[in-house]
Amino acid sequence: MQIKTSLFACLFLIISSKLHAYSNPTIKVLLFKTSQSIKIGSASGLRPVNHNIGLKDNRSLTIRSKGKNALLIDGFVSLTNPILLKSESKISVRKSNSRSKRHYQGIIEVRPFKNMAYVINHLPMESYLAGVLNAEISTKWAIEVVKAQSVISRTFALYQMEKRKKHMWHVTAGLSDQVYLGVDISDERGAFAIHQTRGIVVTYQGKLAQTFYHSNCGGVTEDAGALWKYSFPYLHVRTVPFGKSDPRFNWEARMSQKELLQVFRKLGFKGQKITELTISEYSPSGRVATIYLNGSPKNSFKGKDFRRIAGYRKIQSLLFKISGIPGGILFSGTGNGHGVGLSQWSAKEMADKGHQYSDILEYFYQGTQLKQYWK
């Protein structure tokens, strides 16, 4: 298969864009929310940005929520507003009941809200990306796929920023947006890819594109409208002959009758026993759209809901077939993830074959253009 190389077209678009306009905006990332105490520390000391308060030891603070909308700091300072902390060096953050901690750049905000404390990291977009890349792919992969991931992660985050301008945060640090793990996972290859694509985003008709991505499409991408309430002209079904080098490309999962019953009861099934499980409807890409239980349309469930409750690690994708086994069902599938947008393992194989990151992005987001972010 030949793919038209778009490197020169990409460079023209970037050079002709408003290069001076990219300001590396600050993004607000919700790290977590908790009712437990939070330990925050820095070897070079912590400095409150928005409060003039005395600290017993500015290298380490313990903060917890107090009442509905207040914070207690080191057991003696009570605040009804958020506290923002900065440091000359990286800042460690952990829940008091956890041994694991992560380190972050920029500002750490602790905000009281409804008997909880929300921990939010404010930092420049390009620094944020350094904490995303090795959480979503491996920066040891061919550099062109690392560049591609930099561009789509930047585009995704900026899209969410514009959408959530008035929210307390723009993105979460978990799977509901894209995984962000702070400075502990940043490295030179990631920094190089981010620098080489600085400010570059995927656009469609002059606006930011919605750059969904996933691990492996299993040979065919999905139309966004088949999973969600909205469709995009650049996110549709297409056969993808790349990605089979993924060790998890083919997968199997077994579920007993008891496990199946537990899953479907959480989805609203009222019966006492599952005697039959059938796939009654497929999406345009061949993914499981609807499942019937016991041969009745009255017991109809969406495939995406079944996968969510059964567990994304167990049911890797909706590209699966079922067969009966003693005491349960065998699920045999391909791919990993929702299948919409860029397939990371397919992009890896394309990069290994010599395709530039612009080629990869054009392949998965057809009809889009690469430009510098202009706000």
- Using one digit for the tens of pLDDT, what is the confidence trace for 316-344? 999 999 999 998 999 999 999 999 999 99
pLDDT tens digit string along 210-232? Answer: 999 999 999 999 999 999 989 99
Q: By the 8 A CB rule, do 109 and 64 touch? A: no
Pair 230, 333: CB distance under 8 Å: no
- 202: nearest Cα among 331, 13, 24, 61: 13
- Residue of 11 and 176 predicted with greater confidence: 176
**pLDDT higher than 60, residue 19:** no
Q: Is 3 a residue whose pLDDT tops 90?
A: no
Does pTM surpass 0.85? yes
Domain parsing of the chain, residue ranges: 7-23+138-242+339-372, 36-114, 250-334
pLDDT at 20: 53
pLDDT at position 67 is 79
Structure tokens at 71: 């914070």
Is residue 77 scored above 80 in pLDDT? Answer: no
Average pLDDT over residues 191-201: 97
Nearest to 243 by CA among 334, 373, 349: 349
pLDDT at 78: 80
pLDDT tens readout for residues 133-151: 999 999 999 999 999 999 9
- 3-class SS letters over the chain: CCCCCCHHHHHHHHHCCCHHHCCCCEEEEEEEEECCCEEEECCCCCEECCCCCCCCCCCEEEEEECCCCCEEECCCEEECCCEEEECCCCEEEEECCCCCCEEECCEEEEEEECCEEEEEEEEEHHHHHHCCHHHHCCCCCCHHHHHHHHHHHHHHHHHHHHHCCCCCCCEECCCCCCCCCHHHHCCHHHHHHHHHCCCEEEEECCEECCCCEECECCCECCCHHHHCCCCECCECCCECCCCCCCCCCEEEEEEEHHHHHHHHHHCCCCCCCCCCEEEEEECCCCCEEEEEECCEEEEEEEHHHHHHHHCCCCCCCCCEEEEEECCEEEEEEECECCCCCEEHHHHHHHHHCCCCHHHHHHHHCCCCEEEECCC
Angle at 240 between CA 234 and CA 245, to 5 degrees: 135
Torsion region of 55: left, alpha or beta (phi above 0 gives left; psi -120 to 50 gives alpha)? beta
Does the pLDDT of residue 362 top 90, yes or no? yes
Q: β-pairing, 83-86 with 342-343?
A: unpaired
Instruction: Kindly report each contact of residues 278-286 with a partner whose C-beta sits within 8 Å and lies 24 or more positions away, as own/partner.
Output: 279/303, 279/321, 279/322, 283/222, 283/223, 283/226, 283/227, 283/318, 284/222, 284/223, 284/226, 284/237, 285/220, 285/221, 285/222, 285/223, 285/226, 285/237, 285/319, 285/339, 286/220, 286/319
- Percentage of the chain modeled with pLDDT above 70: 93
Q: What is the pLDDT of residue 352?
A: 97
Rounded CA gap, 362 and 367, in Å?
7
